[in-house]
Amino acid sequence: MANSRTRNKFSAERYGSLIALGILVLVSAVLSPHFLQPQNILNILRQISYTGIIALGMTFVIIAGGIDLSVGSLAAFAGAIGVLTMNALGAAGKPEWVGVLAAVLVALAAGSLGGVLNGLMVTKGRIAPFIVTLGTMAIFRSLSLYLGDAGEFTSTNTLYSQIGSASIAFVPVPVWIMAAFAAFFSLLLGRTRYGRYVRAVGSNQRVALYSAINVDKVRLLTYVVIGLTVGVTAVLISMRFNAVGTSTLGVNYELDAIAAVIIGGTAMAGGSGTIWGTVVGAIILGVINNMLNMVGVSPYLQGTVKGLVIIGAVLIQRRKA
Amino acid sequence: MPEAVVRTEKIRKDFSAVTVLKDISIELQAGETLGLIGENGAGKSTLMKILSGIYQPTAGALFIDGKSTSFRNPSDAKAAGVSIVPQEFNLCPDLSVSENVYLGDEIKGPGGLLDRAAMRDRTRELLSELSAAIDPDARIVELSAAQKQLVEICKALVHEARVLILDEPTTVLTKIEIDSLFRVMRDLRSRGIALVYISHKLWEIAEICDRVAVLRDGELVHVAPVATLSLEEMARRMVGRELSDVFPKLAEPSAEAPVLFEVEGLSSPNAFENISFSIRAGEILGLAGLMGAGRTEVAEAVMGVRRATGRIAVAGKELRSHRPMDAVAAGIGYLSEDRQGSGVMVPFTIAENATLVSLPRYSRGLLGIVDRKGEAASAERWKGLFSIKATSTDQCLEELSGGNQQKVSLAKSLDPEPKVLIVDEPTRGVDVGAKRDIYRLIADLAAKGIAIIFISSELEEVIGMCRRVLVMREGRAAGFLEGAAVNEEEIMYLATGIREGV
């Protein structure tokens, strides 16, 4: 008897977010017959993919005991200089594909370098991650606003936006990219030495240090990982809009990304968590948004629901501990 | 016979399917000191957690003054007069002594504000009753381990404790501090307080307790007046078998064996100065000294977790930089004195802990995919070799007893196959049976040619395990002892500074 009880408890803990998603899908399907239509499902997946990709990187940062608030601002900054580079190459008469390639590389590099900057201040500077990324959140946003004079950079490259709205086998490109990153990061976190070290550092930094783990390097790399995902999202979202709004792009991304990670069961204090949990967390957020839209709840109230879900998820985590 | 202060009747405790306490019936009279002994995992802590309201029993009854009672939480137990002084202190380091003593039970004056003066005065009174020279306004961080313990005792007494449980209180204390703790305990006893004293050190039980209760595998196997049991008999009843010699036979040191490890002029600011020694392959060098003499600090400096200057060489090759990874790469292993703080990852599995230092050896390819089969095989080998009690190597350490955690910690230090191994308090908080295992394991390692630095505050084990000992005092090398000179008197002479060594 006792044995089966522990097993049930175990699975409820582990698959709590998956069960919640199942219930949500059921409720949504009942509330709206439109919900389960393939086009709607694909829409939800595309909507969540932008912040979902960043949430994948955020999973590493949070498991290692950190946090990154700068992701939205960094996305605007990386997207802005990517599009600027592309437009400059276009003006110089280069072929469109060269411009697209350059935009992608520049945005990825900018995102990763932003991550390096955050990571260095956290590890070498010994400043709390919350403070570091609060600071860089302001810095990257202000740099983007300055570059664009608070306006928009519109892409002059037609290929760029074509890629952004393309689908492969009916599934939108950003969804494919998120799936690929999820698979790769899941392997990285669950099966590799680096993944083990990330959990070790977040679990007990002192033991990790005494175990000859290069704690600073492991933590620094988590910020590079998230910076890379920010670069990817910057490219995908600017492709989607064919522009970078320096004052609007990436606003509240940190909220969505952190929410997905926490709803997915990653411990806020670090040490444990999974990539698939974060994916489920991101989908839960998307389904909630979609459902609220369909039943006609004011979009202004959607933030309230999101906030309640985050707090509720942490509350459930507490209960388990 | 008067009514017992505390009586338990057939207390049972199950964790999922495992029964950790079976039908424990025991009673405690006012003004008596009961010693509670047993190997790690015997159920001592679980029983005390039930008495102090942290756990609820699965079955059985608890009586206070003859009345059936159940504690839903530690506050219930405290209200009934049962308090525990835990092994790991529960004090807020940044609050003052009096603030800690009254934490959660503050005296309030008019208007609901704190009556700090009253709390301070009462704390001062309690401290002086314990003849403790501690300022009630001192912050906890400024206190020594022994002083913190007295604050914990005060915290219990302020609740009009009638039963006080002391869980291995002497592991962090020096001999002198232990003596003064015993004075405090005798005083409390004379005031009619019932004490439960948990310890692995049997001579302490013999000295301070009236009765002794022996737990083995969750069962109460023996309760008797202390005077009727010899130390050997206590140990025998604890493990349920005869104990042959605790210490293994040590191999004769070979003068031809190459020098494997050298430290020259090692200094670390505010910790120690100018420490030099060398160890041959297969030798066990003891590092003795009083608390605060700098022994652990030397180990930390060698491992690169503490800044230091000086020369460190393994097999003649000097270490270029002082980082933990360099020390490990050079072949130095370290078993930390602070098991949970810097030794093992409690939420990790046995396998994940055992390979934490040596993980590069188990990872393959560009991504560093962990070879889980290889890892499990190694963990399985250590589990068998050290007889680690666990259902599988996938079990998390939080479910293991202290002794088994210590064995995992040792496995973790040994898995990288070090040439030099530093063991720092290798048997702290470990029962007699596991101690003997650990001594034998260390002697076996030496026999295989590993150079070992053996750090311990228990003189008995330094003498039993080492043929050569470096005694430290106040951060300096007080002297080396060798052969017959390795005995309790000589070590204490050097450690206390009565005599200077050569």
**Sole residue written with tokens 């204390």:** B173
pLDDT at A144 over 90: yes
pLDDT at A6 over 50: no
Cite the DSSP H helix spans in B115-170: 116-129, 145-157
Does some domain include residue B1? Answer: no
B303 lies in the same domain as B444: yes
Residue among B325, B345, B370 minimizing CB distance to A214: B325
This complex has an ipTM of 0.85
Residues A195 and A212: their CA atoms lie apart, in Å, by 16
More confident residue, B369 or A314: B369
What are the tens digits of pLDDT across the range B222-244?
Answer: 999 999 988 888 877 877 655 45
What is the domain partition of chain A in residue ranges? 36-320
B364 lies in the same domain as B435: no
Beta bridge pairs of residue B139: B96
Question: Measured at the alpha carbon of residue B30, what is the angle toward residues B26 and B32, in degrees to the nearest 5?
Answer: 75
Give the residue among B232, B256, B226, B259 at the shortest CA–CA distance from B246. Answer: B232
B308 lies in the same domain as B425: yes
Rg (alpha carbons) of chain A, rounded to whole number:
20
What's B80's domain CATH number?
3.40.50.300
Question: Measured at the alpha carbon of residue B25, what is the angle toward residues B77 and B149, in degrees to the nearest 5?
Answer: 40
In whole numbers, what is the pLDDT of chain B averaged over residues? 87
B318-328 burial: b if 16+ Cβ within 10 Å, else e:
ebeebbbbbbb
In the prediction, which pLDDT does B303 show? Answer: 92
What are the tens digits of pLDDT across the range B287-321?
Answer: 998 777 889 999 999 999 999 999 999 999 998 88
pLDDT (average), residues A114-135:
97
pLDDT (average), residues A64-85:
97
B129 lies in the same domain as B235: yes
Contact B450, B481 (CB under 8 A): no
Q: How many domains does chain B have?
A: 3
Least trusted range by pLDDT, from A66-80, A298-312, B249-263 = B249-263
Residue that terminates a domain, selected from B361, B384, B416: B416
In the prediction, which pLDDT does B1 show? Answer: 59
pLDDT at B471 over 90: yes
CA distance A45 to chain B (A): 29
B67 lies in the same domain as B89: yes
In the prediction, which pLDDT does B4 show? Answer: 86
| CATH number of the structural domain A36-320 | 1.10.3470
B229 lies in the same domain as B253: no
Contact B418, B401 (CB under 8 A): no
Are A203 and B347 a contacting pair at CB < 8 A?
yes
pLDDT at B40 over 80: no
pLDDT at A238 over 90: yes
Whether B319 contacts chain A with CB within 8 A = no
**What is residue A211's three-state secondary structure?**
coil
CA distance B159 to chain A (A): 29
Q: How many residues comprise chain B?
A: 502
First to last CA, chain B: 61
Does some domain include residue B340? Answer: no
Number of neighbouring beta carbons within 10 Å of residue B14: 14
Least trusted range by pLDDT, from A118-122, B24-28, B159-163 = B159-163
A interface with B, Cβ–Cβ < 8 A, is 2-3, 5-6, 187-188, 191-194, 196-197, 199-200, 203-204, 206-214, 271-272
User: In a mutagenesis test of the B interface, which of A8, A14, A206, A210 is the best target, namely the one with the most B β-carbons within 10 Å?
Assistant: A210
Q: How many residues comprise chain A?
A: 321
Burial of B112 (0-12, 13-18, 19+ CB in 10 A): exposed
A200-239 burial: b if 16+ Cβ within 10 Å, else e:
bbbbbbebbbbbbbbbbebbbbbbbbbbbbbbbbbbbbbb
Does some domain include residue B323? Answer: yes
In the prediction, which pLDDT does B380 show? Answer: 95
Does some domain include residue B341? Answer: no
Contact A226, A53 (CB under 8 A): no
Number of neighbouring beta carbons within 10 Å of residue B249: 9
Using the 8-state DSSP alphabet, how is residue B264 labeled?
E
* E strands in chain A: 152-154, 167-168, 171-172, 243-245
Does some domain include residue B338? Answer: no
User: In a mutagenesis test of the A interface, which of B15, B18, B369 is the best target, namely the one with the most A β-carbons within 10 Å?
Assistant: B369
Does some domain include residue B303? Answer: yes
Residue among B324, B334, B369 minimizing CB distance to A192: B369
Which residue of A lies nearest to B352 if distances are taken between CA atoms? Answer: A196
Are A191 and B14 a contacting pair at CB < 8 A?
no
Residues A190 and A196: their CA atoms lie apart, in Å, by 7
Does some domain include residue B342? Answer: no
Residues in Cβ contact with A288 at an 8 Å cutoff, skipping those fewer than 6 apart: A24, A302, A305, A306, A309
pLDDT at B255 over 90: no
B35 lies in the same domain as B50: yes
Are B327 and A3 a contacting pair at CB < 8 A?
no
Strands B420-424 and B332-335: parallel
Residue among A192, A199, A271 minimizing CB distance to B367: A192
What are the tens digits of pLDDT across the range B84-132?
Answer: 888 778 888 899 999 999 888 888 888 888 888 899 999 998 888 888 8
Confidence of residue A116 (pLDDT cuts 50, 70, 90): very high
B101 lies in the same domain as B187: yes
Residues A120 and A128: their CA atoms lie apart, in Å, by 11
What are the tens digits of pLDDT across the range B349-408?
Answer: 999 999 999 999 999 999 999 999 999 999 999 999 888 888 899 999 988 877 788 889
pLDDT (average), residues B443-467:
89
Residues B205 and B392: their CA atoms lie apart, in Å, by 35
pLDDT at B263 over 90: yes
pLDDT (average), residues B150-154:
88
In the prediction, which pLDDT does A152 show? Answer: 92
Does some domain include residue B109? Answer: yes
Confidence of residue A295 (pLDDT cuts 50, 70, 90): confident
In the prediction, which pLDDT does A4 show? Answer: 32
Contact A227, A122 (CB under 8 A): no
In the prediction, which pLDDT does B116 show? Answer: 87
Beta bridge pairs of residue B82: B163
Residue that terminates a domain, selected from B212, B239, B266: B239
Which residue of B lies nearest to A192 if distances are taken between CA atoms? Answer: B369
What are the tens digits of pLDDT across the range B169-209?
Answer: 887 777 788 888 898 899 999 999 999 999 877 888 999 99
pLDDT at A312 over 90: no
More confident residue, A110 or B500: A110
What are the tens digits of pLDDT across the range B482-501?
Answer: 988 888 778 878 887 766 65
Contacts of A206 in chain B (CB under 8 A): 341-342
Whether B418 contacts chain A with CB within 8 A = no
Contacts of B363 in chain A (CB under 8 A): 192-193
Residues B265 and A201: their CA atoms lie apart, in Å, by 33
List the domain range (segments joined by +) for residue B228: 6-239
B57 lies in the same domain as B82: yes
